[in-house]
Structure formats: C-alpha cells, structure tokens
A and B are shown apart, each in its own frame.
Chain A
Amino acid sequence: MTGSRNNEGGRLFAGGVDWVSVGIYLLLVLMGWLNIYAAVYDEAHASIFDIGQRYGMQGVWIGVSLFMGLVVLLLDDKYYHILAYPLYGLSLLLLAATLVVGREVNGAKSWIFLGPVALQPAEFVKFTTALALARLMSTYSFSIRKTGDILRICVLLLVPMAIILLQNDTGSAIVYTAFAFVLYREGLNGWLYLAMIMVVSLFVFSFLLSPAFLLVLLIVACTLFQALGNGNWRESLVYVSGVALLTLAFYFLGRAAGWGFTLHGVLLAVSLLSLIPVAIYAYRARLRTVYLYLLLFLGSITFTYMTDFAFGKMQPHQQERILDLFGIENDLQGAGYNVNQSKIAIGSGGLTGKGFLNGTQTKYNFVPEQSTDFIFCTVGEEWGFAGALVVLALFCILILRIMKMGERQMEPFGRIYCYSVAAVFLFHVFVNVGMTIGVMPVIGIPLPFFSYGGSSLISFTLLFFVAVRLDAGKRRELPVD
C-alpha cells in the first residue's frame, strides 16, 4: 500500500503534471507578490516578509496556497468527483451563514471573521460550484438539450448567485455568468449566445445612441436582413420609404397643429402601426421569416425601453459607473475618480514603466484599492506596457493551456471542470484589467494571483491545481491502458 502510493507519486511528478502551467502559475503569484509589495511599499517596513504589512501577509497566503496546491496534487483525483456535491453544499452553508454572522466591509456583507483571519466564502464557492457543475453535467443521463437538465444547471448556478447578491456583492455574483463559456463548449444552443450578444449590444447602443436614431437603425437593420434572406428588395424599399414619409408627414402636421410631437414618438407610432400591414403582407406572400424579424423588432424595442426602466432601478453608484464607462458623464472628482486615477497610473507607465518601486501614482495612494482590485495599476505603472503585456500573455497562455487540459480529459467531468476554471479566470482577468483601463465598468472582483487577499488566492490556487491534478491523472492512466 505504502509502496504503491510512493510509486504513483513518483510517476505523478515525473510526467503527468503540466509543469509549464505550474511554472506560469508560480510566476504570476510571484509577480503579484512583488506588485503588492510595490503598491503598499513603506520604507519603514522594507522587508517583504514583514507580516505587519500586506505584502508580508500575502507571503503567508502564498505559503498556505502552495501547501494546499501540493495537497491537491497528492490526493487521488477521484475524491474531487466524490466530494463535488458535499463541498458545494458545505460552501453554500458557509455562504448562507455569512448572511447571518458576516461583517460588512465596503458595503458588502461578505466576510466572516475567525479570530484574526478574515474569510470571504464567496471566493471558495466559485471553486465548489465548478466542481458541482462538472459533476452534474458529467452524469450519465445528462443532456444539455433537455430542458430539465438546463433548469438544473440554472438552479446550481443561481443559488450561490442569489445568496451573494443578498450579501450586496454584485461583482462576485456576476462572475457566475462566466459559466456560459463552459455551457457553450458543452453544446448549449448557439442562438442563445447570438441573442445574448444582441441584447448586450442593444444595451450598449441604448446608452450611446439617441432613442430616435436607435429606432431608425433597428427598422433599417431588420428590413435589410429580411430582404437579404427573401430577396424582396422592392417591397422592402417601399416599406422603409413609406414609414419615413408617413413619419415626416405626421410630424410636421402635428407640429403645425401645435401638438408637441417629437420625431421619436411619431416614428415609434408609425413603425408599430406599420407592423399590421407587414404581417398581412407576410401572410399573403407566405414569407415566414418576416414574422421572425417582426418579433425581433418588437423584442428589441421592448428591450431598449426595459433598459431605461432597469437603469432607473439601479443604485446611483452603479448608474454612475455605467455612465462613466460609456463616457456620458465624466465626473472626475466623483464616480469617475477611481477609473481616471487608475488610467493615469497605467498610462503614465509608458512603454517600459517607471521601474520597480518607482511608481508615484500607486505609491502615493492616488489609486484607490491599489493592492486589491486595482493591483494592475502597479503593474502598468512600474513595468509599463511591456510588463503588462507579459502578464496578459501569461494569463492568456495559462487559460488556453487549461482549456487544452480539458480537451485531454477522458471523462466529461474533467473537461467541464477545466473549462469552468478557464472561464472563471478569463472573466476575472477581463473584467478586472478592463476596469482599470476603462473598457469595463467598475466591478470589484480580484485579479487572480495578483490581488491581495488570502481567500481569493487560495480559491484560485485550488481551482487551478485541481485542474492540473485531473490532467495529471489522465496521463497517469494512459500508459496503463
């Protein structure tokens, strides 16, 4: 027994482990540590091992993480399959408990204090959810095309999301949308994604364009695509010009009569009324796709008005963040302050950066949350574009390698799990880095391996090493076959 385990262990470390990925992981963790050191550097406490400082603590967390990573590698891979549901349940309990006994930090009640150690259960739930999702979807009878199974997935993802939302930690909740990535790999209907992309673009456009212009765009786009499919160019042209003429006619008549018509209002009324003749036309010409575009048009219009409604329901700081992202409002002293300072820090880094510990913007606290959510500012400022590119490249390679690990798996469990890890990493990197350079709204989620914090570092480490362990397991079995 002992002998065989040693034997297994020996082979495990000899070939199965993807050492390149582990190397990238170690590199990223080390870089993260150095950047936290630089971000909160204090001459009075210059030792990176001073645990009175954040960098000292991060050193401790790195030690703990590496130990846990080692434990993960040494455990048999079947445990992850077995423990998936129990861990998921346990973590949800912990999450729910946070609602009761947790403490509020920065407006989110997501922390549990165990003596001197602060724990953020939401971080670990990502890991357990990934395991549970893999377990669920790798069940023998599971099919992604069955509505019941899709509902199960929804429940599995929505429960932690809901609890986290109750904690008022919107950022961490949104992370769960990343699992859509996995579902696509596993064959979820592609139209859903297309629809999602359309919804998102509509959302963005509804902020960037005036309502009247957006409406014109929708009418033209729907008619155009319809005509592309059906070839009824003449009728389409007649329709568009008819709508235009009627709109203008009513508009000017209304104005002349002094009824205070707006162009947008008239156009909306005319286009909605025009759907009746369009429907009649489609029935007579037996063009079924016309109905599809009709519905699409109606749906889009409804959605844009819902967007306005939803936006009105948001909290002011969320509204400001969105307006700021789209450059509609630019209050650099208020809502836009963080992002502006973050952009200044990164932008001032230039091509090669200011050098280690020479970053002025981060060192002198112009950037908020510089060791946690905005840690990438230190990277950008001190290591410049070159350094930032290296970090991004490492993340990109790591994520692609994890996806490859997934593809190498013999069992769907491993594949789904690996894709989940890749999805969570991708989402975190994109949203976190994107927010520091103003391409994403400010959503407070950590940058994997970089942001200060034990919970997130340990949870990302667990996510990663279980993938490596599963991958190593597959290889271990190959020669036996």
Chain B
Amino acid sequence: MGRIRILQIVVVAVFAVLASRLFYIQVLDSRYKREARNNVLRHEVQYPPRGEVYDRNGEFLVRSRESYDLMVVPRDMKPFDTLLMSRVLGVTPEKIKRNIARATAYSRRRPSVVLPMLSKEEKSRLDECDFPGFYTVFRTVRSYPRKIGGNLLGSVGEVSPRVIERDSYYKSGDYIGESGVELAYEEALRGVKGVKVNVVDVHGITKGSYNDGEFDTVPVPGAAIVSTIDAELQAFGEELLAGKVGSIVAIEPSTGEILVMVSSPTYDPDELVGRERGNHYMELLGNPRRPMFNRAVMAKYPPGSTFKLVNGLIGMQEGVVRPETTYPCHNGYTVGRGVKCHSHASPLNLIDAVKTSCNAYFCYVFRNIIDNPKYGSVKRGFDVWNEYVRSFGFGRKLDSDFIGELNGNVPTSEFYDKRYNGRWNSLTTVSLSIGQGELGCTPLQMANLAAIVANRGYYYIPHVVRSVEGRDSLDMRFYRKHYTKVDTKYFEPVVEGMWRAVHRDGTARVAYVEGLDICGKTGTAQNPHGRDHSTFLSFAPRNNPRIAVSVYVEHGIWGATVAAPVASLIIEKYLTGEVSRPELVEQVKQLNLNYSYYDRQQK
C-alpha cells in the first residue's frame, strides 16, 4: 500500500472517529439531553395562599399573612458577605452558614430554604443587597386573630422527609398542616401549587419563561373553611379552664356540630408561627402539663358517675329495670367488696337515683344486665352490655373529621377472661356500673353521650367543619343519624333525672340558671394519679336542646366543684349571649387546683 493511500486512510479514519463519537453522544446517549435541561431549566414553585378559617359566625379563626422564604441554589452561589446577610435578616452568621451547608448537602442544583418566613420588611431590605444564588419566594403564614384553639386549629409546619417520600405532591420546604383542622382539611386548605418554568443562564440569572410559559401552571388558592366552632364561646371556655387541666366539648345535638373544643392547658397558636416556632415548640414539649396534648380527643378518662346514664338506659332497654323500680342504698352497695355511696334517701327509683347519683342503684342495674338469665352466662351478658355501650360511641373512634381521635376503652369479656383466667362474674366488674374500672372515654365521646341523651337516642357524628369553599356539602356521614341500641322512649326518665339533678336539689344545683331548663349529670371519677376528676354532662334546654356540653377537669374534686359551674356558664353564654353570674366566673377562675401529678415530673 502506498504512502499516499495510507495518509488518505488516516484522514478518513480521523473523521470516522469523530463522527462515531458524535453519533454516540448526540444520538445514542440521552444523558446529555437530561443534563442540558437541568442546566437551563429552573422550576420555580408558585405557592398558593393557604385557605383561611372562619368560625360559625364568620369571625376569623385563622388568617393567612404574606411572608417570604429565602431560598438558595448552592451551585449558583458566589462568595458573599455572611455578616451583611446576618445583619439584614437578624440571625447569626453561624445559622446562615449551617443552613447553607445543609442545603448543599441536600442538592447543589435544587433550591432549598435557607431561612423561612421572612417578613415583608426583611424581604425588601434583602432585595436592596445582591446575593447571587439567593432568592425569595412568596409564601403565606398563619396568624390567629383570637389566639384561641391551639390544639383545635392545629399548626402548619415544614413538610417532613417521610411525608415527601409518601406523597409526591410535597417537596422539600413545602408547608403542611400538622395537627388539628390544619391537618384534617389539609387538602382543601393547601390549594394547588403552581409552577413557572424559567430558563436561566450559567449564573442562575433568569433569562425568561421556557417555551413562552407552555409548561407553567397557575397556583389555585386554598379553600376557605367555615368551622362549627363559636369563637366567642371557645375563648370563654379557654378562659374558664385557664390554670386547670381538662377539657370542654360542646356539641349542637341537632347537627353534631362542635361548638367548643377546649383542651387545657392550651397555648397561643401564634407562637407556632414564624422563625421562633422551633423554640416555642420545644418549650411546649417540655411543659409537664403537656399543652400540645389534645385532651378533648386523646385523653382517656374514667367517665365516673356520668356513665350511670348509659347503664340506666341499657337496663331499661333490657327490661331488667323500670323507671319506678326501687333499690335500697345503705351508704353504698354492700355485696362483695362493696361500693360506697353518700347518704341520701332510700330506697330510690331510677329517676331519683340519677338525680342523687346513687352508686348502689346502678350496681343493681348493672348486675341485672350482666346476670340476665336469658343470656345464660356472665360472659354472654357482658358481651351484650359491651355492644350497647359501643352503640353509644364509646370504645371506638367516632369517625369525626378531627384527626387524632382515640378509641378510648370499653373492656370486653375476653379481656376479663384473660385477666381473671376465666373466673370472674358481674361482681368482679361492678365498678363499671358507676363509670370506673377499665372504662376510658374521651371528652368528645362524653359530649357525644350528652348529645345522645339530648336527642333521646341518636347522634350525628361530631365535626368541627361546617362548610368548605367550593364544596356543596361535607362528607355524607355527617348528615346521618346514628341510633343507639336503646329506644327513644327509655330516655325520658333519664332526662327527668338529669333535670331534677339541676332543678330539684340534686347533685348539680350549682348549674341552675333560671329559664334555661338545664339538664345535667355530675361525675366524680376516682383515678390513680391524685384527687378525683370533676366531670359534668349536660344539655339545654330540656326540650329541643341546642347545646350539649361535657366538661372534664382533672383533679377537680367533685363534679359540682368545677365541671358543673363551667358547663352551666358555657350553656348560659351560648343560649343567652351573656353571663349573669360574674361571681361564679370569678369563683371558677380563682379555684386553685393542685396538679402535683404533672408538676412533679418537671424535676
């Protein structure tokens, strides 16, 4: 082969090498196309304003306020004056450096939040300086004009990595409802994020919209929500329970709408907004009285004497007791280890037993139910009782729209079989008759019981939201009556007993308000942590009730000491719009309860 030919081949070979390599990177390998898009396209999220929350009278419970997040794309960052930035934003340079390091560790290309929730003023100060690689995005943060309902309304926070993994809607730096209404109605409140696809140059400077905005989407603002809560009443309830540990739940019996849901101690929801959120959060977590524990739906309390209503109703339905049936009481029930009672007239019928809250009477009733010969065995009789109790909404979630509801506890025969090795009887479990023992009920379940009695046998699932903007109705389950297994006709004697308890020198005289026809049942629940819990179930007026209230105050001693006055005041304020007994309000507020159980734990 001649040298000329060899050189020609060399020339052609050189070009063949170049061409084949070009073919590979341009046609075969798609990696470079992807990287080119990563280079020039920036997806700028457009955050919608979060929906606002009104109370039932149109008053703002939660508002959205303008705010800005400082973002960084570490790759586009140039060395900058950290001190200047820290002065502008009012945070330490160390914090800025730390957050930038974290952002860099997450991704050099993708934007991360350096500092969330800048105020409008901070943003405009920042705009005057030039920090390449940094920019701000519009966000909304929450504000709470009434500063009420911390646990009820819940808080909004940055989405956690776990959620991001589970739900592709969320990206790092997004906000999400973390508890309460914010969590329950997250999908309605959050709206839909928009995106703006921008083209940027090598310095990260936006050069315009990609493809004339073909791939852009407009953010859809979050829906406004009208809550069932009465802000005025909620505020009043929180005021009354201030300094005490407990809960108030008030329900409109004819709809199941929750009017008040107080969990005390509460906190100012505004404290969980903004950059001090983390510190406040830790403070609240460290508080031994656990202000962030929503007692209204999560605390399991023994219902105490209020539960006698349930046993009385089951007894009548089962035919083991009639309203006129009388049982004697000798300062208590004397069979077995016995159950003590206070002194009152004896013997009593059912109505007066409710009125005076006679322990012995309901021991008889309870044992009659369990030992009913028609069921053949204690176990079977107990199962029947259990089913009745569950139909009242105990021992299970009520399926309200409120996330975080707990089941509470209604013991089963299997439970006792296990505990007593199969050797137990109605006497073993007799404390259930007066709402003690293994029973655990949430304040919401107890308020629901009040509503059931007020409705004479049925309830609507309690809920905290009345309407969502853009939706015709709530979930259909909130419009359905849920009947208990006790017929309506058996309720009147119990109602009569509750009415007498307030009006005829019964246990709840303190709750009396002229003309309001309040019906109530006190409870004094023993517990292993200290003094008895004070509880009160009530509704008013007696006919066509408009409000059913359950008040539960931990270590509040007698039902009549705190719970009954609080419930009475709530009812009065709701029905009349005013409070006629300021001295009672003062008395409740002044009442100093001892919470050594909680406060001991501080050390």
CB-defined contacts of A258 to chain B, threshold 8 Å: none
- Residues A408-462 near B (CB distance < 8 A): 419, 422, 426, 429-430, 433-434, 437-439
**B26-64 interface (Cβ within 8 A of A):** 26-27, 29, 31-33, 35-37, 39-40
User: Which of A345, A348, A385 is close to B22, meaning CB atoms less than 8 Å apart?
Assistant: A385
CA distance A176 to B402 in the complex (A): 81
CB of B40 within 8 A of CB of A364, answer yes
User: Is A209's CB within 8 Å of the partner chain B?
Assistant: no
B36–A344 CB distance below 8 A? yes
Q: Indicate if the CB atoms of A434 and B32 lie closer than 8 Å.
A: no
Is there a chain A Cβ closer than 8 Å to B202's Cβ? yes
As a 0/1 sequence over residues 252 to 293 of chain A, the CB contacts with chain B under 8 angstroms (1 = contact) are 000000000000000000000000000000000000000000
A326 within 8 A of B: no
- The answer to whether A403 and B36 touch across the interface, beta carbons within 8 angstroms, is no
Across the interface, do A388 and B26 meet the contact criterion of CB distance under 8 Å? yes
B105 at the interface (CB under 8 A from A): no
Q: In the complex where A185-B3, A389-B22 touch, is A360 in contact with B17 (Cβ < 8 A)?
A: no
In the bound complex, do residue B3 and residue A347 qualify as a contact, i.e. CB atoms below 8 Å apart?
no
- CB-CB nearest in chain A for B12: A396
A391-405 with Cβ < 8 A to chain B? 392-393, 395-396, 399-400, 403
B4 close to A392 (CB less than 8 A): no
**Residue among B3, B7, B10, B29 with the highest chain A CB neighbour number at 10 A:** B7
Whether B17 pairs with A439 at a CB distance below 8 angstroms is yes
Q: Mark A328-351, 1 if CB is under 8 A from B, else 0.
A: 000000000000010111111111
- Docked complex Cα distance between A347 and B36 (Å): 9
Q: A360-B36, A365-B202 are in contact. Are A347 and B7 (CB under 8 A)?
A: no
Decide if A250 is an interface residue (CB 8 Å cutoff): no
> Is B424 at the interface (CB under 8 A from chain A)?
no
Which single member of B8, B10, B201 contacts A365 (CB below 8 Å)? Answer: B201
A9–B19 Cα gap in the complex (Å)?
40
The CA of A456 and the CA of B10, in the complex, are separated in Å by 25
Segment 344-368 of A: residues with Cβ below 8 Å from B: 344-351, 360-361, 363-366
Q: Write out the residue numbers on chain A whose beta carbons fall within 8 Å of the beta carbon of B199.
A: 360, 364
Nearest residue (CB) in A for B25 is: A347
The answer for the CA separation of A439 and B21 in the assembled complex, in Å, is: 8
The reply to whether the CB of A203 lies closer than 8 angstroms to some CB of chain B is: no
Specify which chain B residues have a CB less than 8 angstroms from the CB of A407 in the assembled complex. 4
Instruction: Bin chain B's interface residue count.
Output: 20 to 34
CB distance from B138 to the nearest CB of A (A): 25
Report whether A426 and B11 are in contact in the complex, using a CB–CB cutoff of 8 Å: yes
- Chain A residues contacting B33 (CB-CB under 8 Å) are 347-348, 350
Check A16 for interface membership: any CB of B closer than 8 A: no
- B200 close to chain A: CB less than 8 A: yes
Check A361 against B11 for contact (C-beta < 8 Å): no
User: Is A347 within 8 A of B32, CB to CB?
Assistant: yes
**Residues B19 and A343 in contact, CB atoms below 8 Å apart:** no
Task: Evaluate whether A439 and B18 lie within 8 angstroms (CB atoms) in the complex, with A185-B4, A346-B32, A361-B39 already known.
Answer: yes
A325 to B6, CA, bound (A): 27
Give the CA-CA distance A347 to B39 in the complex, in Å: 13
Collect the chain B residues with CB atoms within 8 Å of residue A350's CB: 26-27, 33
User: In the complex the two chains form, is B40's CB within 8 Å of A426's CB?
Assistant: no
Which residue of A185, A380, A393, A439 contacts B26 across the interface (Cβ within 8 Å)? A380
Assess the A400–B11 pair: CB atoms within 8 A: yes
Indicate whether A346 sits within 8 Å of B202 (C-beta atoms), given known contacts A360-B40, A396-B11, A407-B4: no
Indicate whether B15 reaches chain A with its CB closer than 8 angstroms. Answer: yes
Which chain A positions have C-beta within 8 A of B201?
Answer: 363-366
A342–B200 alpha-carbon span in the complex (Å):
17
Query: Chain A binding site: helix, strand, loop or mixed by DSSP?
Result: helix
Query: What's the nearest-Cβ distance from chain A to residue B98, in Å?
Result: 22
Cα(A430)–Cα(B15), bound, Å: 7
Scoring B residues 263 to 304 as 1 if CB is less than 8 Å from chain A, else 0, what string do you get? 000000000000000000000000000000000000000000
Any B CB within 8 A of the CB of A187: yes
Assess whether A184 is interfacial by the CB under 8 Å rule.
Answer: yes
Q: Does B476 contact A (CB under 8 A)?
A: no
> Number of A interface residues, CB 8 Å?
43
Chain B residue nearest in CB terms to A430: B14
A264 to B312, CA, bound (A): 95
CA distance A422 to B207 in the complex (A): 43
Inter-chain contact A184/B7, CB cutoff 8 Å: yes
The answer to whether the Cβ of B415 comes within 8 Å of any Cβ in the partner chain is no
The 8 Å CB contact of A187, one of B3, B6, B26, B203, is: B3
When distances are taken between beta carbons in the complex, the residues of chain A under 8 Å from B200 are: 364
Closest to A396 in B: B15
| Residue from B7, B12, B25, B40 in contact with A437 in the complex, judged by beta carbons closer than 8 Å | B25
With A366-B40, A430-B18, A434-B18 as known contacts, state yes or no: A403 contacts B35, CB within 8 Å: no
Contact in complex: A366, B39 (CB < 8 Å): yes
The CA of A430 and the CA of B21, in the complex, are separated in Å by 12
Do the beta carbons of A385 and B36 come within 8 Å of each other?
Answer: no
Q: Distance in Å from the Cβ of B12 to the closest Cβ of chain A?
A: 7
Q: Are B26 and A384 in contact (CB under 8 A)?
A: yes
B23 on interface, CB distance cutoff 8 Å = yes
* Contact status A343-B25, CB under 8 Å: yes
Residue of A nearest to B210 (CB): A360
User: When each residue 186-207 of chain A gets 1 if its CB lies under 8 Å from chain B and 0 otherwise, what string results?
Assistant: 0100000000000000000000
In chain A, residues 190-244, which have Cβ atoms closer than 8 Å to a Cβ of chain B? none
Is A392 in contact with B3, judged by CB distance below 8 angstroms? Answer: no
Bound Cα distance from A426 to B207, whole angstroms: 38
CA distance A348 to B36 in the complex (A): 6
Check A49 for interface membership: any CB of B closer than 8 A: no
**Known A395-B15, A426-B14, A439-B17: A346·B39 in contact at CB below 8 Å:** no
The distance in angstroms between the C-alpha atoms of A384 and B27, with both chains bound, is: 9
Contacts of B37 in A (CB 8 A): 348
A158–B15 alpha-carbon span in the complex (Å): 28
> Across the two chains, which residue of chain A brings its CB closest to B200?
A364
Q: Which residues of B contact A395 (CB under 8 A)?
A: 15
> Counting CB contacts under 8 A, is A303 at the interface?
no
State in angstroms the CA–CA spacing of A396 and B12 once bound together.
7
Residue from A407, A419, A437 with most neighbouring chain B CB atoms (10 Å): A437
Give the complex CA separation of A343 and B4 in angstroms: 34
Bound together, the chains give a CA A360 to CA B201 distance in angstroms of 8
CA–CA, A301 and B460, complex, Å = 92
Q: Is the CB of A360 within 8 A of B15?
A: no
Q: At the interface, yes or no: A61 with Cβ under 8 Å from chain B?
A: no
Chain B residue with minimal CB distance to A423? B7
The docked-state distance in angstroms from the alpha carbon of A389 to that of B16 is 10
Which residues from B are CB-within-8-Å of A184?
3, 6-7
* A439 and B13 alpha carbons, distance in the complex (Å): 14
A389 & B19 in contact (Cβ 8 Å cutoff)? yes
Contacts of B32 in A (CB 8 A): 343-344, 346-348
Docked complex Cα distance between A29 and B33 (Å): 28
Residue A85 lies at the interface, judged by CB distance under 8 Å to chain B: no
Which residues in B have their C-beta under 8 angstroms from that of A343? 25, 32
Complex contacts, A351 vs chain B, CB 8 Å: 26-27
- Residues of A near B21 (CB, < 8 A) are 434, 437-439
Q: How far is the CA of A136 from the CA of B531 in the complex (A)?
A: 116
Is the Cβ of A433 less than 8 Å from the Cβ of B11? Answer: no
A445 to chain B, nearest CB (A): 15
| Complex contact A385–B26 (CB within 8 A) | yes
Q: In the complex, what residues of B have CB within 8 A of residue A438's CB?
A: 21, 25
A345 to B38, CA, bound (A): 12
- 4 tightest A-B CB contacts, nearest first: A347-B32, A348-B36, A364-B201, A385-B26
Q: List residues of B whose CB falls within 8 A of some A CB.
A: 3-4, 6-8, 10-12, 14-15, 17-19, 21-23, 25-27, 29, 31-33, 35-37, 39-40, 199-203, 207
Known: A364-B40, A366-B201, A392-B18. 9 other contacts (CB 8 A): A187-B3, A346-B22, A347-B25, A360-B39, A364-B200, A385-B26, A422-B11, A426-B14, A433-B18
- 17 example contacts (A-B, Cβ-Cβ < 8 A) are as follows A181-B7, A185-B4, A343-B25, A344-B35, A347-B33, A349-B26, A361-B36, A361-B40, A364-B202, A366-B39, A388-B26, A392-B18, A396-B15, A403-B7, A433-B18, A437-B22, A439-B21
